[in-house]
Structure 1
Amino acid sequence: MSQKITWKDKLDFILFGWIINWAFPQYYRPKYHYTRYRKILLINVIPQKILGINRFVKWPVHFTSVIHSPEKITKGILCDPGDNPGIYIQANNGIIFGNNVGIGTGTKIISANHNKEEHSKHDTTSPIIIGNDVFIYANSVVLPGVKIGDNVVIGAGSIVTKDIPANSVAVGNPCKVIKHNPPHREKFTREEFNKNIPKQYHHYFDISSHE
């Protein structure tokens, strides 16, 4: 059963929602009952747009998190890499995030290692690819070139060194699949979001994409 939308919810969106939508053109979340817009204003807009912390990132990032090379990050909706505290994301070789991706506090996602012979340079690898409906729990590390399939849970403190197949729960150092992950059941409609969803993401709302 959906939560009741109160006058406080509506007022919060009217007063602050337009600022958030302007400040973060790649922020797509349910219009109500996700995070208060006044909270995003304080925790994200002021540090990013006024103080210049992660200034060029087009989605909300926590002021204690660091995003390197955000222009090399591609992401879907329901996905704001770095929105939790203490996250480090280095996208020198590119990172592709799907839709509905959660990243826990203290996680590191590193797309390029330093060259062993010339430490000032980074090795070139394929981009990291993370699918739809993925949650990476706290203090995990995802290393260069890794591919994580759809509907995957990565356990806290894991070190992801190799590809993880879809529909898996994986944990450990090195991270290994321990069991099957049931189909993702959370559903959304385009109408409930804070702004219109671009056509390239409409497929995510198809029933078939969740089965």
Structure 2
Amino acid sequence: MIKKIDFLFFGWIVHLFYPEYYRPKYGYQRYYILFFHYLIPQKLCRLNPRVRWPVHFTSKVLAPERIQKGVLCDPGDNHNNYIQANNGIIFGSNIELGPGVSIISSNHESDNLRAHTEGKPIVIGNHVWIGANSTILPEVSIGNNVIIGANSLVNKDIPSNSVAVGNPCKVIKQKEAYTEDLSQIIFSKKIPKKFSDFLNVNA
């Protein structure tokens, strides 16, 4: 009953201001927390105001218009995330970032610190967990079904179905297949058709 009241009072406001927020209707994050800890700092205090999904008030998302993302993925929603997307970042679906994660898509020019280098976007696949205080550097590609250990520095591509850790980050073992049945999730709003195949793949 409390969950339903929470949804009725705050859920519609959250969906109104966050058109790219696709999470389970209940059991992920309370809507009143999203309202007070995310929406008010973003929209009223102008912290990350252009981002179309929840970003924690301690986090920063730069160039959100250059970010593509799927469902079950809200870059910057954890504490102290730094997401810099000047060269673009392509996130898949079902991605979680631990606290303190930084994802940096472009470096500064060595002879002009007010300019950024151009390069390929960072690509992060589906079913990826990036552990606390890890850093993802420019032009890196991370495959599907990957775990990046805490405090890792990812400066080269990481293949699918792997666990990788360290500075620099290296694959230490293969990861078993991701088996969660995402088709059973009841989402808080209708999911775009383009994500239907992803959600039904393990059904």
TM-score, length basis structure 1: 0.93
- Give the C-alpha shift of residue 135 in structure 1: 0.4
Question: Aligned residue pairs: how many?
Answer: 203
Per-residue displacement from partner, 1:8-39 (whole Å, max 9, x unpaired)?
A: 11111111110110010000000011111011
In structure 2, give the amino acid aligned to 1:27: Y
User: What is the CA–CA distance in structure 1 between the aligned matches of 2:185 and 2:155, rounded to whole Å?
Assistant: 38
User: What is the CA–CA distance in structure 1 between the aligned matches of 2:160 and 2:151, rounded to whole Å?
Assistant: 20
State the partner residue of 1:119.
113
User: What is the CA–CA distance in structure 1 between the aligned matches of 2:178 and 2:35, rounded to whole Å?
Assistant: 31
| Correspondence list, 1:83-122, <5 A | 83-122=77-116
4+ aligned runs moved over 4 Å, structure 1: none
In structure 1, give the amino acid aligned to 2:77: D
Note if 1:172 corresponds to 2:156.
no
| Correspondence list, 1:9-158, <5 A | 9-158=3-152
Note if 1:203 corresponds to 2:194.
no
- Give the C-alpha shift of residue 44 in structure 1: 0.5
State the partner residue of 2:188.
194
In structure 2, give the amino acid aligned to 1:127: P
User: What is the CA–CA distance in structure 2 between the aligned matches of 1:12 and 1:88, rounded to whole Å?
Assistant: 29
Which runs of no fewer than 5 residues in structure 1 stay unpaired?
1-6
More strand as a share of residues: 2
In structure 1, give the amino acid aligned to 2:169: C
**Contact conserved, 1:190 with 1:196, CA < 8 A, in 2?**
no
In structure 2, give the amino acid aligned to 1:97: F
What secondary structure, in the 3-state scheme, does the structure 1 residue paired with 2:14 have? helix
User: What is the CA–CA distance in structure 2 between the aligned matches of 1:43 and 1:185, rounded to whole Å?
Assistant: 32
- Give the C-alpha shift of residue 160 in structure 1: 0.2
- Give the C-alpha shift of residue 50 in structure 1: 0.9
Identity rate, percent: 53
Which runs of no fewer than 5 residues in structure 2 stay unpaired?
none
What secondary structure, in the 3-state scheme, does the structure 2 residue paired with 1:121 have? strand
Per-residue displacement from partner, 1:103-161 (whole Å, max 9, x unpaired)?
A: 11011100000111222211111000000000000000000000000000000000000
User: What is the CA–CA distance in structure 1 between the aligned matches of 2:75 and 2:200, rounded to whole Å?
Assistant: 24
Which moves more between the two structures, 112-121 or 18-27? 112-121
User: What is the CA–CA distance in structure 1 between the aligned matches of 2:29 and 2:200, rounded to whole Å?
Assistant: 25
TM-score, length basis structure 2: 0.97
